[in-house]
Amino acid sequence: MKPRHVALAVLVATIWGVNFVVIKVGLRDFPPLFFSALRFLAAAVPALLFVGPPKVAWRWVVAVALALGVTKFGLVFLGMAAGMPAGLSSLVLQSQVFFTVLFAALLLRERPRPAQLAGMAVAASGIVVIALDYGVGGPLSAFLLVVLGAVAWGLANVATRRAQPPDQLNFIVWVSAVAVPPLLGLSLVFEGAAADLAALRALSWTGVGAVLFVAWVSTLLGFGLWNLLLRRYEASAVVPFALLVPVAGMLSGWLLLGETTTATRLAGAGLVVLGMAAATVRRRSPATPAPVVDEPAAVR
């Protein structure tokens, strides 16, 4: 990957790490499925006036909306509302890297390089170190909800790679719009209209800020850049950058929510960064010298 694209991938990982803290704050004001629906509603409605109709087949818009918008975020928000800490959630969700590489190999016939596999193994060891140090503080069901969200994210990454959307903003806006009705319907069924209306009546500036951050910064900017990278590079080259998300999530959780951090967690984060470097740096082939063409005698 080119250096500027590496920088974009790191920026997206940082945004998504901080996003877990913002989600945790927003869940104080909203039921989880309703919060997720508001997130995509805020992302889609203003932008639909400017992006025009979808520029890929509707089946890909619907597939990514259901996998990413409804399933992944619905499960993650439910898991965090059930007790998963922000830092631990950001860590567990990055198991999507391995699901993505697996699905890309099975469905797209993409073969990761040995260096990528070795780097992901090192980064995975860092995640295991951090997870063991954290411990699973919430109930097992909350933990499993986030893991299932990671599976859904892996499928969404592969579907995005297959769709090859030419306009990333257009694509993520329509994905957001399609995700809203199912999420609202699920919220009405499982959380109830009374809970949703009560959240709107008690709306605070903190809740508004949380919705706007996860809608405009995390969704439109974050996924717009992420999908741009997936369109230019193989999934196995882009997705390992998401392993940096728990590093940003732990640091922001420590700074903004007072979640504790330890030397062991920092060591695990170091392994994640080291594994990322090994997974993304390509060996350059030696330059081939230009052929020497002898001038005809007459020209000399």
* Residue 235 near residue 80, CB atoms below 8 Å: no
Kindly give the confidence (pLDDT) of every residue in the chain, 300 residues in length, as a single tens digit, with 9 standing for 90 and above.
888 889 999 999 999 899 999 999 999 999 999 999 999 999 998 788 888 899 999 999 999 999 999 999 999 999 999 888 888 888 888 778 778 888 888 887 777 778 778 877 887 888 788 777 766 555 778 888 988 999 999 999 899 888 888 888 889 899 999 999 999 999 999 999 999 999 999 989 999 999 999 999 998 888 888 888 888 888 778 877 877 888 888 888 888 888 777 788 788 878 877 877 776 665 544 444 433 333 344 333
Which amino acid appears at position 200 of this protein? L
* Residue 59 near residue 163, CB atoms below 8 Å: no
Helix axes 3-26, 224-232, angle to 10 degrees: 150
pTM (two decimals): 0.79
* Residue 75 near residue 148, CB atoms below 8 Å: yes
In angstroms, the CA 29 to CA 119 distance is 40
Residues 6+ apart with CB under 8 A from 227: 160, 165, 168, 171, 172
pLDDT for the residue numbered 134: 67
Helix (H) or strand (E) holding 299: none
